[in-house]
Structure 1
Amino acid sequence: MRLKSLFAIPFFLLIFALIHASVLSDARAQNFFINKIGMKFVLIPAGSFIMGSPDSEKGRQKDEKQHKVIISKGFYMSETEVTQGQWDRLVFPNPSSFKLGSYYPVDTVSWHDAIEFIRFLNKREGTHTYRLPTEAEWEYACRAGSLTAFATGDVTTFSCKEPEAALVDHAWYCYNSGGFSPAGDFKPHPVKLLKPNKWGLYDMHGNVQEWVQDSCKWRTLWSAGTGTITRTYVDGITDPLETKGEHRVVRGGGWFQNSKYQRCAYRTNYKPVARRNSLGFRIVREQ
């Protein structure tokens, strides 16, 4: 009896520890996953946020009306922009203007090219849950709970010759991407060299601009307004997605642009066939 009692307690504690460790491991595993081609995805929780920018924000555009958005379901977002190495695992040839290595973001991709990559990835993994993020999901993930112009603070300068304090450690943009270096190597940079936002996402500001899922209309001064025009900038809207319009929305600034274009709320658009050396994308996977 004494022998059993002596060994029972340590054995029970061992089983408890193993179960506890397993539960913790499962919980951590649910916060991110790595797919078959080595892409890491971070869980973005459901929630609500204020999309757009206040009138007082420096660099604000007319198409950034503030409104509350509800994201009803969590989703996984790739922690980086799709890289050239990831592209090469599924699609040939590499369209990038800057063929600098596997860890650089793929660039010079059209919206249709991004959709084709996603189609191949879904086929590879036997699913239909990979897609481009919606515009609202993108800004929600970019902000990571912040209300400021950038996820890390507000705008202080639009200069390319002096650092933006809230941006310089988180984004490749005109100040630090080589435009003013002696070598003149003005270009995008490998992913994950700078700091991520609070949700573990890299290069949400800067490096390459990112296609999102939404369509939009484009208007000029001669057609009653300017900018990216959608029907989704409505207060209290849930899981918005614009499906009308011949253009596609683009989010995030590029390596060659100043901090005005790196703001969380900044929006632009191109025709879905457009290819530019500053255009890339990142993807999400539904839960």
Structure 2
Amino acid sequence: MKHDFKFVTTSFFIFFFTLFILLALFHQPVFAQSKTYTNKLGMRFVLISKGSFLMGSPVFEPGRQWNEKRHKVLISKDFYMGETEVTQGQWEKLVGFNPSSFSKLGKSFPIDTVSWNDCMEFIRVLNKWEATDKYRLPTEAEWEYACRAGSTSAFSNGPITTFSCNEPEPAIVNMAWYCYNSGLASPARDFKPHPVKTKAPNKWGLYDMHGNVQEWVLDSCKWRDILRARVGAVTTTYKDNIVDPLNETGKHKIIRGGGWYQTGKYQRSAYRSYYKPKTRRNSLGFRIVRMR
């Protein structure tokens, strides 16, 4: 009986140990895959974990605008952020035509010359194609949270030191297409966007959050503060300890991220501007998020 009991005990140990190993092996790739998501269009998304951060800029940051009040924001849910800006190839594959002002440059270039309304239609079609409702534009807060990637400096990789197009900005010269490197020479003054993923990503694996094309976000805004007699993106969301802010009032839509023709001042993580939702410019594109 003692021998039988020992045999049974040993067998149970081997069984559960083997089961544990199999579960661990099975679970590992699932966990790894959950950090990214690739959809039917070939768009790759990076998982951005929920958390809090300081949105806006400190008063001493060079290039700071009056409407960049620094405040604490809580992002309460994880979300997937587009690894890159939507490309011309992705747009054309889904929609069937290419509105880009640089359509001859190639399908790996970011889409441009699209309005906020156009972006919303693209997302509507993508949701319908995949039989889901999880795709949308990022909110302004989600965009800055993802852009900063845990940083509190002007750029996700360091401070701002110059507004010049004639000298490099150390923090972004290797991670952003902007006026210094997007066409200042060869040939001279031939400014233009560049293929996505050709510069270094931020610490969270997102490309071109600084530079290349400016990006539409979900938030609306007013364009001036009458009481302060100042012009700029005006929202009611810049206040401390706000959770998942989204400003829905105003006839303009906010844009984030600097463009390929702009100086470092406009590439800062906190920089915000606006256009009417029907506006199309050759520096305007977008990226999308996918909700979990």
Q: Name the TM-score, length of structure 1 as normaliser.
A: 0.94
Q: Which residue of 2 aligns with 1:116?
A: 121
Q: Is the 8 A contact 1:132 1:284 kept in 2?
A: yes
- Alignment match, 1:275: 280
Q: 1:144 aligns with which of 149, 153, 158?
A: 149
Contact 2:178 2:264 in 1 (8 A): yes
**Cα pair 1:62 1:226 within 8 Å, conserved:** no
Which of 99, 104, 111 matches 1:106? 111
Partner of 2:7: none
CA distance in 1, matches of 2:74, 2:154: 20
Contact 1:63 1:226 in 2 (8 A): no
Match of 1:49 among 27, 48, 53: 53
Asked if residue 285 in structure 1 is aligned to residue 281 in structure 2, the reply is no
* CA deviation after TM superposition for structure 1 residue 21, in Å: 2.3
Quote the residue 1:126 is aligned against: 131
After superposition, the CA RMSD in angstroms is 2.2
For structure 1, the residue ranges without an aligned partner over 5 or more in a row are 2-6
2:150 equivalent to 1:135:
no
CA contact (8 A) 1:96 1:107 kept: yes
Tell me the TM-score normalised to structure 2 length: 0.92
Rg: which structure is higher?
A: 2
**Structure 2: how far apart are the matches of 1:10 and 1:72?**
42
Distance 2:57 2:194 in 1: 28
**Deviation per residue, 1:230-249 (Å, 9 max, x gap):** 00001110000000000000
Q: Which secondary structure state, in structure 1, belongs to the residue aligned with residue 74 of structure 2?
A: strand
Q: CA deviation at 1:20?
A: 1.9
Deviations 1:145-197 (A, max 9, x none): 00000000000111111110000011000001012333543100000011101
Name 1:19's counterpart in structure 2: 23
Identify if the C-alpha distance between structure 1 residues 223 and 57 changes in structure 2 by more than 3 Å, giving closer, same or farther: closer
Identity %: 63
Change (3 A) 1:259 1:221: farther
Could you say what secondary structure the match of 1:49 adopts? strand
Instruction: Say if 1:173 and 1:259, in contact at 8 Å, map to a contact too.
Output: yes
**2:179 matched to 1:204?**
no
Deviations for 1:59-116, whole angstroms, at most 9, x for unmatched residues? 0000100000010001001100000011011113211001111110000000000001
Mean CA deviation greater in 92-101 or 79-88? 92-101
- 2:218 aligned residue (206, 213, 221): 213
Q: Aligned to 1:93, which of 92, 97, 101?
A: 97
Partner residue, 2:232: 227
Alignment partners' CA distance in 2, 1:51 and 1:136: 7
Structure 2 regions of 5+ residues with no counterpart?
5-10
Secondary structure of the corresponding residue to residue 34 of structure 2: helix
Task: Find out whether 1:261 has 2:266 as its counterpart.
Answer: yes
Which amino acid is the alignment partner of residue 112 of structure 1? N
